[in-house]
Structure 1
């Protein structure tokens, strides 16, 4: 699991190759990722938007942007966390994702960007 902290918000990511949904012969590779967002600050914050860049080994970059995460815009009090699982499909057995969350500090409405640590997605057989 990898983590990054921005303005007291810690984002941790863990990935897993989904062999049962992948079809390497047809260049279809599916990965899941579990994200844990922890509010280690002294302020209540809300996640408003996500912005991802998805890279595959062919040099293709996809950009994904939208409200919240999996249909939610969680509010996190100090010490609270939100966890979710999502997925990504690639045309190659190796890829990476990096991104940001747009957060709002509830007390004064200040918006700030939280870094999502860049993470790799690698089909396990590529590691041999």
Structure 2
């Protein structure tokens, strides 16, 4: 990870519980998450891959690695942002996600953009 101001990617997440796809009696809780990735640095950077750790309330961890996000590898100029929506399924009503995006700057410098942990829970579950 780079703390250099040239290489600074901000990641924000919003989550939604998808009630119509969830079957609580079968341990199926479906969530959508919308991620906004903003290049807050001074050098253009491209997202190459992602690494997620998805943890449910039982402590079960799903690890997800892959190229790009939603089939794309956005190249962000300074000040630009990219927004996408994806989803995940848990076996418990609440859980959390965290991870990182592997980035490469236009000058060839590779760095990770950290994704701070965020909660997955149906409305009114967490007070």
- So what's the TM-score if we normalise by structure 2? 0.91
Gaps in structure 2 of 5+ consecutive residues: none
More strand by share: 1
Matches within 5 A, 1:51-66: 51-66=51-66
TM-score, normalised relative to structure 1: 0.91
Across the two proteins, how many residue pairs are aligned to each other?
Answer: 123
How far off its partner does 1:40 sit?
Answer: 1.3
Alignment of 1:12 with 2:43, yes or no, is no
| 1:6-60 Cα shifts (integer Å, max 9, x gaps) | 9421111011111011011111000000000011111110000100001001111
Moved over 6 A (4+): none
The 3 A distance-change label for structure 1 pair 6 and 92 is farther
Following TM superposition, by how much is the alpha carbon of 1:125 offset from its aligned partner in structure 2, in angstroms? 4.5
Structure 1: gaps spanning 5 or more residues: none
